[in-house]
A and B are shown apart, each in its own frame.
Chain A
Amino acid sequence: DTGVSQDPRHKITKRGQNVTFRCDPISEHNRLYWYRQTLGQGPEFLTYFQNEAQLEKSRLLSDRFSAERPKGSFSTLEIQRTEQGDSAMYLCASSRPAGEQYFGPGTRLTVT
C-alpha cells in the first residue's frame, strides 16, 4: 500500500497520560499536515511540515502538543498530559507542492 498510513488506528488513554501518534506519508511527498477532526465537524488544521521544517502551527495547538518530522519522512504528534477535550480523530495528510492532499486513515484518540 503506497498511501498515507497512521499508527495506531485507535488509542484509549487515561487523562494525564502522554500519547504519541505516527504518520508515514506517501514517499515522494515533501509536505505533511496534521489535522484534528471531531464528530460532525470538518478537519481542523494543526500543523504543517515541508520536509523536516515545521513551517506553521495553529493557535489551536497548545503547548501540550508537539510534532516532529526529523528526517523529512515520517512524522510524530505527541500530546502531553492528555485532557478529555483532546478526544478526537487525528488525521495526517501529505502532498506534493501545490498538489492534492492525500489523507491517512486517522488515529482515533479517546481520553477517559
Chain B
Amino acid sequence: GENVEQHPSTLSVQEGDSAVIKCTYSDSASNYFPWYKQELGKRPQLIIDIRSNVGEKKDQRIAVTLNKTAKHFSLHITETQPEDSAVYFCAARPQTSYDKVIFGPGTSLSVIP
C-alpha cells in the first residue's frame, strides 16, 4: 500500500523567511496530493492540493511542486507570518483507493516573530 514520508518533522523560521516541507510517496499510481494545516486543538484543513497531471500550483504565499518521476512533492510558504505556525500534513491518494488519502507524519512549523 501507499506510504508517505515527510521531512523535516519540526521547522523553525523567522517571520518573513520561506519554509519548505518535503514529502515522498511510494505508490506510483497515486494521482492526488493534498496538503492540510492543523492548528493546535483544531481540525485539519486543506490549504492546497495538486493532481498528477500538474507540476506546480500556487495560491498567494503557498505553492506546491510535484515530481512524479522521483515520487516527491513539496510545500513552499513564502513571507511566513506567525499565523502560519501549525502542523502541516502532506497526503497522497492511491488511484484505486475510493478517494481515501494516506497522510504523512506531519511537520510542526514555528514562525518566530
Contact = CB atoms under 8 A, between A and B. Distances in A.
Given A45-B100, A48-B99, A56-B98, A105 B43 contact: yes
B106 A42 contact: yes
Contacts, number: 53
A103 B43 CA distance: 6
Among A41, A101, A106, the one with the most B-chain Cβ atoms within 10 Å of its Cβ is A101
A33 B100 contact: yes
| Range for the number of chain B residues in contact with chain A | 20 to 34
A62 to B, nearest CB: 18
Contact of A42 (B32, B45, B46, B105): B105
Interface residues of A, number: 24
Nearest to B9: A40
A103 B45 contact: yes
Contacts of B104: 42
A91 B44 CA distance: 9
Interface stretch (A17-25, A78-86, A92-100): A92-100
B100 A42 contact: no
A100 B46 contact: yes
B13 interface: no
Interface of A: 31, 33, 35, 40-45, 48, 50, 55-56, 91, 95, 97-98, 100-106
Given A40-B105, A42-B4, A56-B100, 4 more contacts: A31-B99, A42-B104, A55-B98, A98-B99
